A and B are shown apart, each in its own frame.
Chain A
Amino acid sequence: MIRMTDIHEAPPEPASIGAEQIEYLEQLARIRLSGEEKERTARDLSKILDYIEMLGELDTEGVDPLSHPVTTEPVFREDKAVNDDRRDAMLRNAPEHKDGCFKVPKTVE
């Protein structure tokens, strides 16, 4: 079995998530956790990252990343709207709306 450290690139830092990192991820994800949730999440994420380390056991040197498994041709269409007007139905799902627009709290002080 090849370990991370056998691979000739610089070994990545240990994949564990600490308090500081959790805060960074909360920021990126726009999610705020309570103190207790923070701890539990850090523990769970670290466990998953530990598991994922095994990606490094496989030699993928020279392999091109694959994003879509079934290749299709580029698809073109006329730049023309085909939807009917569903503004009112859509606005009914909005938490708040006013004059046909989505309403949000003040964004600029």
Chain B
Amino acid sequence: MSISRQNVETARKTGQEFRSGAVPISEHIEKTISGIQKEEPRNHCFVTLFEEQAHKAAIRVAQKLRSKEDCSLLAGVPVGVDDTMMTRGRRTTCGSGTLEHFIPTFSATAVQKLEDAGMIIVGKLNTDEFSMGSLTQTSFFGPTSHPADETRVAGAAAAAVASGVISCALASDTGGALRQASAGCGVCGIRPTYGAVSRLGLAAFASSMDQIGPIASDIRDCAEILNIISGKDPCDSTSVEIDKIDLSRIDSFSLSGLRIGIPSVFFESDTDPFVKASFHEALDALRSEGAVTETFSLKGLDQAVAAYAVISCAEASANLSRIDGIKYGFRAPEAKTLSEVYERTRSVGFGSDAQKRIMLGNYFLSAERYEEYYLRALRVKALIAKGFASAFRRYDVILSPVSPSLAPKKEPYDTLSMFEEDFFTVPASLAGLPAASVPCGKNPDGLSVGLQMIGPHFSEAKIVGAADAFLRIGGGQKTQGGQK
């Protein structure tokens, strides 16, 4: 057990200390990096540390602050970045053996925006191979350990934040990885509306659902980071301009009268009893503050995971065709002909889960199966999106647990059960909706449960308001005894 959260300051407070001159940035960065190095052998959160670059950046940002240059509130704050996002001149592996030594020639827009805002990237966080998974089980570099139990897995961005070595991170979310990671480690995370954050420089897994978002122990830090990274990017034609979240208005957000919808299948699902109890307690807490809860039925939710599996594999098979051993990354050394280069590189380079998903994707997109699987999945997706749209005429937010189970053990995984773990998270991904994960319970062993708050497109401010109000009433702070 190595959680020492009480010493962790919010990113905003750290930024304030830099601006006031109370703490020198270089010193803080040095402390952060040695803290990471100390915890790494146990936690295995980072794939690469940018020690030298971070020190240089610290000096640069400190200079900017001294000369009163325009800097964000988070200037100088150390941040970790999921290794599926490109960092110019600094190794980016995507958790894959195919890119073990890859050095990007540009930075992801979200990464660039963090650095423009003066945030300091201290390293790259472990990730499932090309994001295919949630809790680093498929990473080429091995899984990240859960902060509370070394025998269990965790999403690296959330584990690093939960263990206190960094206060915030950028993660990616396709079917729910960012939310799953946050829930499992008892921290906050927001998957923004599709298009709210540019995907340029995020290694494409399933392009119609991939999104970048923040993870932090504090929901307001998440909002602050989202404000930095969001917005239209000319290099991602699906990105859009969104209103920044006004943090000064969060205090006045009231839960009284908040209309909460809960899809009825979410109550019927096969969910861990502790997760269920925590979810019900969260609903009780919200109701006691005057929120109104109601169950409703949303057509297609039962089939959401199946639709997600089809669509994500189909898109992954197309996106990962670029891994061919020609332009970058690993090439199988023994290949003699061009087609051997392709085949051997992909056979040796990809992990078995990635291979299965690519093969499935090819199957779904093959001429004889396209209609039966791919188009049908897109129709289910349409029904789900429509269902949400009509539900949001009646509800402000839709709630569910984030994961049906507690953090899994480090054991051989199974692709189908990984899909099933995303039962609560894929609907928002399919519909492109923003969704936050906020802590709503912790069992006696320190394993956390997350509450998912889904809102209409571009309702990030409302979700943050509701999440913050929920946390203010202590929704996420209590440790439950496991009864109820």
A48 and B432 contact, Cβ closer than 8 Å, known pairs A64-B379, A94-B328: no
| Chain A binder among B11-19, B53-61, B340-348 | B340-348
CB-contacts of B314-338 with A (<8 A): 317, 321, 324-331, 335-338
Is there an interface contact between A55 and B337, defined as CB atoms closer than 8 Å? Answer: no
A95 to B334 Cα, complex, angstroms: 13
Interface flag for A30 (CB, 8 Å): yes
When A and B form their complex, what is the total count of cross-chain residue pairs whose Cβ atoms lie within 8 Å?
Answer: 176
Interface flag for A81 (CB, 8 Å): no
Instruction: Report chain A residues within 8 Å CB of B385.
Output: 66, 69
Chain A contact residue count (CB 8 A cutoff):
52
Is there an interface contact between A44 and B356, defined as CB atoms closer than 8 Å? Answer: yes
Is there an interface contact between B336 and A105, defined as CB atoms closer than 8 Å? Answer: yes
Closest B residue by C-beta to A50: B416
Is there an interface contact between A105 and B238, defined as CB atoms closer than 8 Å? Answer: no
**0 or 1 for each of B200-216: is its CB under 8 Å from A? (1 = yes):** 00000000100000000
Instruction: Report chain A residues within 8 Å CB of B342.
Output: 30
Interface flag for B244 (CB, 8 Å): no
Closest A residue by C-beta to B347: A32
Scoring B336, B343, B352, B356 by chain A CB atoms within 10 A of each residue's CB, the highest score goes to B356
Is there an interface contact between B363 and A37, defined as CB atoms closer than 8 Å? Answer: no
Is there an interface contact between B327 and A94, defined as CB atoms closer than 8 Å? Answer: yes
A72 and B237 contact, Cβ closer than 8 Å, known pairs A45-B359, A58-B303: yes
**0 or 1 for each of B160-196: is its CB under 8 Å from A? (1 = yes):** 0000000000000000000000000000000001110
Can you offer 24 A-B residue contacts whose CB atoms are under 8 A? A12-B372, A28-B362, A30-B321, A41-B359, A47-B416, A48-B415, A48-B419, A49-B360, A55-B307, A58-B300, A58-B303, A63-B383, A65-B382, A67-B208, A69-B208, A69-B431, A69-B433, A70-B195, A70-B432, A86-B106, A90-B105, A90-B327, A102-B326, A104-B338
Instruction: Report chain A residues within 8 Å CB of B303.
Output: 54-55, 57-58
**0 or 1 for each of B209-238: is its CB under 8 Å from A? (1 = yes):** 000000000000000000000000010011
A84 to chain B, nearest CB (A): 9
Instruction: Report chain B residues within 8 Å CB of A29.
Output: 317, 346, 355, 358-359, 362
Is there an interface contact between A69 and B430, defined as CB atoms closer than 8 Å? Answer: yes
* Cross-chain contact of A44 among B106, B382, B415 (Cβ < 8 A): B415
A95 and B430 contact, Cβ closer than 8 Å, known pairs A60-B379, A67-B378, A70-B240: no
Scoring B102, B237, B324, B420 by chain A CB atoms within 10 A of each residue's CB, the highest score goes to B237
Interface flag for A68 (CB, 8 Å): yes
Is there an interface contact between A57 and B432, defined as CB atoms closer than 8 Å? Answer: no
Instruction: Report chain A residues within 8 Å CB of B89.
Output: 89
Contact residues of B: prevailing secondary structure? helix
A105 to B331 Cα, complex, angstroms: 11
Range for the number of chain B residues in contact with chain A: 35 or more
Is there an interface contact between B359 and A28, defined as CB atoms closer than 8 Å? Answer: yes
Interface flag for B46 (CB, 8 Å): no
Closest A residue by C-beta to B102: A93
Is there an interface contact between A55 and B373, defined as CB atoms closer than 8 Å? Answer: yes
B residues with CB within 8 A of A:
89, 101-103, 105-106, 193-195, 208, 234, 237-238, 240, 299-300, 302-303, 305-307, 309-310, 317, 321, 324-331, 335-344, 346-347, 350, 352, 355-356, 358-360, 362-363, 366, 372-373, 375-383, 385, 414-416, 419-420, 430-433, 457
Instruction: Report chain B residues within 8 Å CB of A28.
Output: 359, 362-363, 366
Is there an interface contact between A65 and B378, defined as CB atoms closer than 8 Å? Answer: yes
Instruction: Report chain A residues within 8 Å CB of B326.
Output: 94-95, 102, 104
Instruction: Report chain B residues within 8 Å CB of A25.
Output: 359, 362-363
B307 to chain A, nearest CB (A): 6
Instruction: Report chain A residues within 8 Å CB of B376.
Output: 55-56, 60
Instruction: Report chain B residues within 8 Å CB of A72.
Output: 195, 237-238, 240
Closest A residue by C-beta to B374: A65
Q: A29-B317, A58-B380, A104-B326 are in contact. List 16 more A-B contacts (CB 8 A).
A: A29-B355, A31-B346, A33-B347, A52-B306, A52-B310, A55-B307, A55-B377, A63-B383, A64-B379, A65-B378, A69-B208, A69-B433, A86-B105, A102-B326, A105-B338, A107-B337
